[in-house]
């Protein structure tokens, strides 16, 4: 195992779900953290918890990854502190809406494209040059099984995650000859705030997504990210696809039917 104790990991979208669980997993292992998100209160409270509970150094940057200037400002601030992230987890992302393409909301599409594709690019373009200059680093992109197979009403979300898959491959190709590694971790159904966000805050609709089966938990993905981040420097895991056991594809999900409904 390649220890991450004392290293710096930058995790975008650490206020909930995968990002939050990953920050906690990394902190347990003694890794210093740079955490981001838009919800100030959550981010600052989490910064405090990580620092108090695990004794690691934590820097919190509250901003929207859709804002290029703010991505660059964070990178400049890190550079002024002489911090080069050893690990970048490009996690901030979302689905917004689930509609047939001819009924989709343009605002939802823009949110997803601007966050999942352009936001990931802005962060990568701001941080990767520092890694390349140091000839060391690890980029871990959170893609999705939605980037491998399109499902009905997934349309634009699918397209953004296909883009993440392409960019993950592109980063690996363009970094050939350096010691900077790049991996995409592509989960299936996982119970986080994802569905609540997708359905614009409708909790009932969100809960139904996970009825009748055991979905992936944020901690499952955090463990996988930790495994990838601690692999030896000569090992480059470029892609991992992970489904809950009840789900074998976007089209095959086994749900137990409740007795009273039979």
Contact, 43 vs 17, CB < 8 A? no
Nearest residue to 37 (alpha-carbon basis) of 110, 106, 119, 113? 119
Pick one of ligand NDP, ligand 8X3, none as the site partner of residue 124 (Cβ within 5 to 8 A by kind): none
Beta strands across the sheet bearing 8-11 = 58-62, 32-37, 8-11, 87-90, 137-142, 180-187, 239-242
Site for ligand 8X3 in 169-208 (CB under 6 A): 188-189
**Residue 43: CB atoms within 10 Å:** 20
**Secondary structure of 53-73 in the HEC alphabet?**
HHCCCEEEEECCCCCHHHHHH
Is residue 192 involved in binding ligand NDP (CB under 6 A)?
yes
- Give the tokens for residue 166: 């392409």
Q: Which is nearer to ligand 8X3, 89 or 250 (CB)?
A: 250
Supply the angle between the helices 120-134 and 155-174 in degrees, to the nearest 10: 10
Stretch of 11-19, 123-131, 143-151, 167-175 lying at the interface with ligand 8X3 (CB under 6 A) = 143-151
**157 catalytic, yes or no?**
yes
Pattern 193-232, ligand NDP, x by CB under 6 A: xx--x-----------------------------------
Pick one of ligand NDP, ligand 8X3, none as the site partner of residue 39 (Cβ within 5 to 8 A by kind): ligand NDP
User: What's the closest the beta carbon of residue 232 comes to ligand NDP, in angstroms?
Assistant: 26
**DSSP structure string for 108-122:** HHHHHIIIIIIIHHH
Which member of 54, 61, 122, 157 is catalytic? 157
Question: Which one of residues 29, 87, 163, 250 is an interface residue with ligand 8X3 (CB under 6 A)?
Answer: 250
Is residue 97 involved in binding ligand 8X3 (CB under 6 A)?
no
Pick one of ligand NDP, ligand 8X3, none as the site partner of residue 172 (Cβ within 5 to 8 A by kind): none
Contact, 217 vs 194, CB < 8 A? no
Question: Which one of residues 146, 167, 171, 222 is an interface residue with ligand 8X3 (CB under 6 A)?
Answer: 146
Q: Which backbone phi and psi does 15 adopt, to 5 degrees?
A: -85, -10
Cite the active site residues: 157
Interface ranges with ligand NDP (CB under 6 A): 13-19, 37-39, 64-66, 91-94, 115, 119, 142, 144, 187, 189-190, 192-194, 197
């Amino acid at each position: 195992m390649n220890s991450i104790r004392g290293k710096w990991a930058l995790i975008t979208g650490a206020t909930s779900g995968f990002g939050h669980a990953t920050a906690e997993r990394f902190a347990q292992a003694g890794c210093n953290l740079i955490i981001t998100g838009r919800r100030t209160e959550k981010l600052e409270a989490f910064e405090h918890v990580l620092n108090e509970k695990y004794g690691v150094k934590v820097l919190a940057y509250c901003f929207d990854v859709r804002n290029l200037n703010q991505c660059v400002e964070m990178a400049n601030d890190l550079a002024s502190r002489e911090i080069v992230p050893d690990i970048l987890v490009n996690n901030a992302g979302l689905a917004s809406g689930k509609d047939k393409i001819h009924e989709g909301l343009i605002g939802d599409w823009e949110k997803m494209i601007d966050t999942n594709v352009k936001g990931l690019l802005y962060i990568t373009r701001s941080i990767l040059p520092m890694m390349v200059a140091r000839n060391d680093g690890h980029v871990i992109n959170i893609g999705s099984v939605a980037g491998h197979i399109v499902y009905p009403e997934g349309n634009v979300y699918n397209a953004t995650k296909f883009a993440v898959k392409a960019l993950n491959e592109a980063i690996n190709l363009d970094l050939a000859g350096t010691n900077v590694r790049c991996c995409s971790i592509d989960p299936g159904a996982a119970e986080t705030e994802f569905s609540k966000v997708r359905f614009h805050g409708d909790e009932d609709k969100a809960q139904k997504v996970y009825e009748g089966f055991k979905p992936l938990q944020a901690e499952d993905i955090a463990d996988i990210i930790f495994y990838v981040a601690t692999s030896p420097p000569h090992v480059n895991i470029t892609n991992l696809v992970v489904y809950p056991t009840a789900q074998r594809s976007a089209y095959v999900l086994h749900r137990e039917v409740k007795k009273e409904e039979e």
